Chain A
Amino acid sequence: GENVEQHPSTLSVQEGDSAVIKCTYSDSASNYFPWYKQELGKGPQLIIDIRSNVGEKKDQRIAVTLNKTAKHFSLHITETQPEDSAVYFCAAKEARYSSASKIIFGSGTRLSIRP
């Protein structure tokens, strides 16, 4: 089955700087890669996703890149703000099931933005 590894586990950046979180996956058939943000006391919230037929996707200050050959994908947050402080999870969806199927999550990155 799919295995997702995420690094780093904690990340502290100065407000206004960029943050990068990296993930690798093991199943080359995986075809959907969402990123979730979890704030204290809340459930994970989808912030951006990418499908395997796309190499990069951007939404305002957030971008995700996917390298299918190397089986890794990354989240980039530019011009970080205090409200970006949260735990971020990457995930990969197994391709051989329907959409009601396993999404395997990474272990999470706790991002702290220093004022």
Chain B
Amino acid sequence: ETGVTQTPRHLVMGMTNKKSLKCEQHLGHNAMYWYKQSAKKPLELMFVYSLEERVENNSVPSRFSPECPNSSHLFLHLHTLQPEDSALYLCASSQETGPYEQYFGPGTRLTVT
């Protein structure tokens, strides 16, 4: 609907697993973002990529590893997560040179057991 797709929509993983979240935008944008949304906290910005370079890392633990191979795709690699990492992970995109609007994907609901 928004031009930003995320897969999978739901993911259950154990603490020793390795998994990846995928985001793809079909809007021709050149900036992409990862956010974490948990029940008791507002949207937390995790990473920002602009023109395929990481420009922001908001003190995110190293068990989260982003990758942006091109301006249309963004990945979040997960390994040795903790139960408190269970949350909705949202991807967004925008245009670097403006306008500022960020368009969000539907999110991946992650449960760490």
Contacts and interface: CB of A to CB of B under 8 A. Distances in A.
Interface residues of B, number: 30
A81 interface: no
Given A103-B102, A107-B42, A44 B90 contact: yes
B80 interface: no
A50 to B, nearest CB: 11
Candidate in A32, A89, A99, A105 with the most chain B CB atoms within 10 angstroms:
A99
A101 B95 CA distance: 11
Contact of A93 (B92, B100, B106): B100
B35 to A, nearest CB: 8
* Majority secondary structure of chain B interface residues (helix, strand, loop or mixed): loop
A44 B104 contact: yes
B99 A99 contact: yes
Interface residues of A, number: 23
B27 interface: no
Interface in B32-57: 41-43, 45, 48-51, 55-56
B22 to A, nearest CB: 15
A67 B98 CA distance: 23
B84 interface: no
A32 B100 contact: yes
Interface of A: 32, 34, 36, 41-46, 49, 89, 93, 98-108
**Lowest 9 A-B CB distances belong to which pairs?**
A100-B31, A43-B104, A100-B50, A105-B43, A107-B42, A99-B100, A105-B42, A44-B104, A32-B100
